[in-house]
Structure 1
Amino acid sequence: MSALRNVRILDLSERPAGEYCARLLADFGASVMKVERPGGSPTRDMAPRLGEHDTSALFAYLNAGKHSIELDLDSASGRDELHALLANADILVDDHDRDWLVDQGLCADDLAARHPNLVACSITPYGLDCPAEWLPADSLNVFHRSGWGYHTPGTAKPGQAPLPAAGRFLCDYEAALDAALCIVAAWVSRLDSGDGEFIDVAEHAVMVSRADTVLGRNLAGEEPASDARSAFEMGGPAASFRCRDGFLFLFMTTAQHWRALASLMDDPHWMREFPEDWLEYGITDARVETFRRHFATWVAERDKETVYLAGQKLGIPFAPLYHASDVYASAQLAHRGYFQALDDPQLGRARYPTQPARFSATPAHLRAPAPELAAHAGIAAVWKQTPPEQVPHDSREKVASKPGPNRGGPLSGVRVLELTKVWAGPYTGKLLALLGADVIKVESESKLDEMRAYGGTDINNAPYFLCLNPEVRSVQVNMKTPEGLEQLRALVAQSDIVLDNLRPGVMAGMGLDFAGLSQTRPDIVAVSIKMFGNDGPLGLQTGFAPSFAALGGLSLQVGYEGEPPTGMNMRYGDSTVGAWAAFAAVVGLAHARRSGEGQFVDVSAVECLATMIGDNLLAYDLTGDFAVSAGNRHPQMAPYGCYPCRESQWLSLAVSDDASFAALCGVLGAQDLAQDARFATLPDRQQHRAELDQAIASCTSTQDAETLAGDLRRAGVPAARSLSTRDMVQDDWLWQRGTYLPVQHADGRQRPVIAAPWQLARNPARNSHGAPDLGQHTAEVFSELLGMSRETLAELEQAGVLR
């Protein structure tokens, strides 16, 4: 059974963001009709192109499981055909600009009048109402305007250019994920209300949201914003080290890690000169340099896999930097069925990356390869003639009538019980809360979320925690006591979703694995986030975001040409895992609402990050090519990357064709470059890329990056200044759009947070509350949901049960 069976989706997208969003929904059983322009979607022409029919592997990846029709939407008849299809569709996915939507009659007001029950979603670089002067924009520009690019890598030497993200379309895939989350949430709401929605997702705002624990602290003034390239880093000895057969990422934060490493290395004398707690209280540049020098010598003589597995057995979160070949060879990913083989008539047999979560009742599945152009006109004719089948579902009235806050939004009335810590799990809860869910965070003073301790001694004003937990309610329950577990199960009975990212085995030890939870609530959706999932040969391993990126294949791709890989930076990964878990949760909720059946959703953090370079992995399986330390190279663009400007500024630039190159040369006043035979065509420019980059840099180095970027965009060349954290907190557009949002805390003070990266036209959630004090809502929740008296509350608190 599929979670989105009988759901009809029209996919008008022509970029990876929209096409991937629609594929995510197709994986769960939705019937997706790809509407293509005459001659086909532009992604059909994107590299790599393979086989005798010159087929795009990227198109194959983005459009598996879909149907295809061909429509000329520049004609009145084509637009009439489109609206006839929309009349019997459930969801529309699009990634064109505002003017195009207006011309097609597809803007929010038009759809509300003509197709009031349609859930429509637009995915664009900066949002539909962005300043016109910000366009055109490539994914590279979005990455650099969001703060991530300037700080990639965080270990850059003076004068080294910022690097792009791993893969080619990371920003597109991140935005697609949030779009899919909002679409399914809005569709669940529509089951009873019948009301459609218009969702505006900005890729830029999504990437800003993914940096909430960094930029959020800068925004609130709790940590100074900076122009330092290392501003996203965490400090300490974490780094990638060369082994005999590759690279190993080392991450250590505790005295326990230090003791385990000493044991692994046979207690070398130089380690005895370090205080045992230096990682927590005594980090200095000198100690970091000394450690790295000695460890580099030791590990250089060993194999990455041997050290990785030995370290993991001792609790050290080592992770090798995996090549695509390692990812495909992973016994853990094979156990989980992460890759699925498909036979494509043009490309042959290939192993596709699938979804990074296993669903016990409604698993994702690739049903067919990408369609041939216009192969499904017959299915489109059926769509026009018959409405989609209506499937019975549980009445939302019983959900909406439950006690608790009602802030609006598509998940209003949905209750989420959150048993998570640190970043990925709380970020999941944050996204669901921003869509209107009542998220109840279960805490205990005996075992605090580490984020309440980072950055200060006041657990109710810890900056990291404040960034991650707006609109969440906090209750204290001591889960170490039988009485506490009894009260927790009573909350489960009143909830729709349970989130956890506790260590493997902890939930089962408390009787709160899916078997135990479903005894209490048969339709519960239990979402578990682990490094590698909950079972399999590596299921007990643990790690942090850089570990996920290393094992997923991302870290090896990012680095300067001819140098060891650097990875993006320390902060990337946790929030991406959280977004995947949020999407998985609402997919599970959709099935529960339609069937009354709960399920277990097992999220693998490593697979979440591998999916961010899914097209690269598929291309490797087809060609054997996988870029390592790719610098600022791009297979279809030149010049491409970051170029120096005055006052240590950087300009991101993406030139895809000869016309854009001519326009670039015109703005730079460099007609000699336009007439140079070495740069006449894209293949020429790629062949002489080093000389071209040097020539472009000499033209940009004396100019102001912001001014030059504006001049280039007006000439039709995608460009943007690469922004630091200092620049990001001064970005007025993010305030205007509501991405930066002031909220009120329990003590009455106002503090800005990074809020939703989307806008809902008809039923947005009202978000105005900051993160809770520890146990702030214990009495409120237990009296409201369980009818507990004031006297009983006092007794349980006195007994240590509700602490």
Structure 2
Amino acid sequence: MQRPLEKIRVLDFTRVLAGPYCTMMLADMGAEVIKIEKPGHGDDTRHFGPFQNEESGYFIYLNRGKKSMALDLKNPHAIEAIKELVKQSDVVVENFRPGVMKKLGLDYESLKECNPGIIYASISGFGQYGPYSQRPAYDLVAQAMGGMTSITGHPENPPTRSGASLGDMSAALYAAYGIMAALFHRERTGEGQLIDVAMVDSIFALLESNVMRYTVDQIVPERIGSRHPISSPFDIFKAKDGFVVIAVANDSLFNKLAAVMQQPELAEDPRFNTDPLRTKNETELKAIIETWLNSYSVEEAVKLVSEAGVPCSPILTIEDICEDEHTNAREMLIEVEHPVAGPIKIPGNPVKLSRTPAVIKEASPSLGEHTEAILKDVLKWESARLQALEGQKV
């Protein structure tokens, strides 16, 4: 079955997380992704744990389905090879600090001279322009500067980072989204373009109602724990043997919850009969719900509340979600075969297309595994030339 991005060639200059996750998604959808890595070292994540048979599980996951070329970007012969590849490629993705690719002669302005239709995606901490564009960033910085850290955690505790690298992952998603839109535009017009994605921008775009609360009502959102700022009950609640999530965002759902609690009068209580009032009196309402939950285990409570049509969930550990039947039914944990690490389980692709589904068959490449094949098969360079380049440590 043909995949959506078959015959699309991507030159991938990315490393660590945001860029590799973006190009991984393109590879899942059929793109030929050629990962350009530093000879002898490769992507930093080749050296990140956890390890299986001395191979990084982190790298295997983020770089599945790609090809690896080991090239010294400080060598003019390597730059020559890349510019030749650009002529036969569709997309370039990089996540260096702004200005690095320009110094190498591999920025968008330089490469569009080789291929006017090239789509060039740059992922960075603060973007390609703006007062902070030259600042270095990792996910922790992006979450802090983007506003998310200030609203994450409980009010009595210091601000906290989200448990996952949302700055990297959201930037990866927005970059992949931009690349898809740019490919569609090029299909209609023949024009390539530059895509500029900042991790800080990406975090800011995830803040949803928090921004509007400030711009409309001049409220500065603060840390409030797990509850929702404008809907109640929408929080984590203590049951007899653990914790339950209950999420009610309208009066109809609250009526259902009151009924399953066998306290239908709560729906008419003047403290709780509208969402704004429930939020205003959230502390009293939470105490009533937890008193009821104290008679039920997590499993019992989730069954009762869910069957009543109210969104509800246990809090699963990573072990729980990996072993969960729904996760496996959705193919969200799949096994790939790595030539060194052996069989290894990694997350699947969450985008389920009915006609052209993502196909994940190959694990990550070894460092420089495809260098010779690409230079021979794509650029048609002869063996003698390749041997000379190898001798010069290109």
TM-score range, shorter chain: over 0.9
Tell me which residue corresponds to 1:638.
232
2:218 to 624, 631, 634: 624
Distance 1:751 1:450 in 2: 20
Tell me which residue corresponds to 2:202.
608
2:148 to 554, 566, 571: 554
Give the unaligned 5+ runs of structure 2.
none
Alignment identity in percent? Answer: 32
Describe the superposition over 1:243-294 as per-residue Cα deviations: whole angstroms up to 9, x where unpaired: xxxxxxxxxxxxxxxxxxxxxxxxxxxxxxxxxxxxxxxxxxxxxxxxxxxx
Tell me which residue corresponds to 1:510.
104
Distance 1:768 1:556 in 2: 41
1:498 to 67, 88, 92: 92
Tell me which residue corresponds to 1:783.
376
Going from structure 1 to structure 2, the CA distance change for 1:659 and 1:591 (only over 3 Å counts) comes to closer
Describe the superposition over 1:117-164 as per-residue Cα deviations: whole angstroms up to 9, x where unpaired: xxxxxxxxxxxxxxxxxxxxxxxxxxxxxxxxxxxxxxxxxxxxxxxx
Are the aligned partners of 2:55 and 2:340 in contact in 1 as well (CA < 8 Å)? no
1:652 has 2:245 as partner: yes
Are the aligned partners of 2:68 and 2:370 in contact in 1 as well (CA < 8 Å)? yes
TM-aligned CA deviation for residue 474 of structure 1: 0.8
Tell me which residue corresponds to 2:288.
695
Tell me which residue corresponds to 1:477.
71
Alignment of 1:26-105 (within 5 A): none
Tell me which residue corresponds to 2:47.
453
Are the aligned partners of 1:460 and 1:774 in contact in 2 as well (CA < 8 Å)? no
Q: SS state of the match for residue 716, structure 1?
A: coil
TM-aligned CA deviation for residue 612 of structure 1: 0.8
1:465 has 2:90 as partner: no
Distance 2:248 2:220 in 1: 22
TM-aligned CA deviation for residue 511 of structure 1: 0.4
Going from structure 1 to structure 2, the CA distance change for 1:457 and 1:692 (only over 3 Å counts) comes to closer
Letter in 2 for 1:490: E
Distance 1:706 1:496 in 2: 51
Describe the superposition over 1:153-192 as per-residue Cα deviations: whole angstroms up to 9, x where unpaired: xxxxxxxxxxxxxxxxxxxxxxxxxxxxxxxxxxxxxxxx
Are the aligned partners of 2:52 and 2:341 in contact in 1 as well (CA < 8 Å)? no
Tell me which residue corresponds to 1:219.
none
Q: SS state of the match for residue 291, structure 2?
A: helix
Going from structure 1 to structure 2, the CA distance change for 1:780 and 1:704 (only over 3 Å counts) comes to farther
TM-aligned CA deviation for residue 506 of structure 1: 1.2
1:744 has 2:347 as partner: no
Tell me which residue corresponds to 2:307.
714
TM-aligned CA deviation for residue 619 of structure 1: 3.8
Are the aligned partners of 1:443 and 1:775 in contact in 2 as well (CA < 8 Å)? yes
Describe the superposition over 1:642-677 as per-residue Cα deviations: whole angstroms up to 9, x where unpaired: 012244x32111123444334323333456756755
Distance 1:624 1:684 in 2: 20
Going from structure 1 to structure 2, the CA distance change for 1:549 and 1:724 (only over 3 Å counts) comes to same
Distance 2:227 2:54 in 1: 46
Distance 1:459 1:448 in 2: 18
Describe the superposition over 1:693-742 as per-residue Cα deviations: whole angstroms up to 9, x where unpaired: 12212222452323322221211211111211121111222222222222
Tell me which residue corresponds to 1:663.
256
Going from structure 1 to structure 2, the CA distance change for 1:445 and 1:457 (only over 3 Å counts) comes to farther
Tell me which residue corresponds to 1:425.
19
Tell me which residue corresponds to 1:519.
113
Are the aligned partners of 2:239 and 2:294 in contact in 1 as well (CA < 8 Å)? yes
Q: SS state of the match for residue 303, structure 2?
A: helix
Q: SS state of the match for residue 729, structure 1?
A: helix
TM-aligned CA deviation for residue 458 of structure 1: 8.3
Describe the superposition over 1:394-442 as per-residue Cα deviations: whole angstroms up to 9, x where unpaired: xxxxxxxxxxxxx731111100000011100000101111111111100
Going from structure 1 to structure 2, the CA distance change for 1:600 and 1:566 (only over 3 Å counts) comes to same
Give the unaligned 5+ runs of structure 1.
1-406
TM-aligned CA deviation for residue 629 of structure 1: 0.8
Letter in 2 for 1:412: E
- Structure 1 stretches of 4+ moved >4 Å: 456-460, 669-677
Tell me which residue corresponds to 1:796.
389
Distance 1:413 1:475 in 2: 19
1:728 has 2:321 as partner: yes
TM-score with structure 2 length normalisation? 0.92
Letter in 2 for 1:603: V
Distance 1:601 1:786 in 2: 27
Letter in 1 for 2:98: P
Distance 1:456 1:445 in 2: 22
Distance 1:433 1:750 in 2: 20
Going from structure 1 to structure 2, the CA distance change for 1:675 and 1:764 (only over 3 Å counts) comes to closer
Distance 1:529 1:774 in 2: 23
Are the aligned partners of 2:245 and 2:315 in contact in 1 as well (CA < 8 Å)? yes
1:679 has 2:272 as partner: yes
Are the aligned partners of 1:477 and 1:488 in contact in 2 as well (CA < 8 Å)? no
Distance 2:314 2:147 in 1: 28
Distance 2:247 2:155 in 1: 18
Going from structure 1 to structure 2, the CA distance change for 1:565 and 1:784 (only over 3 Å counts) comes to same
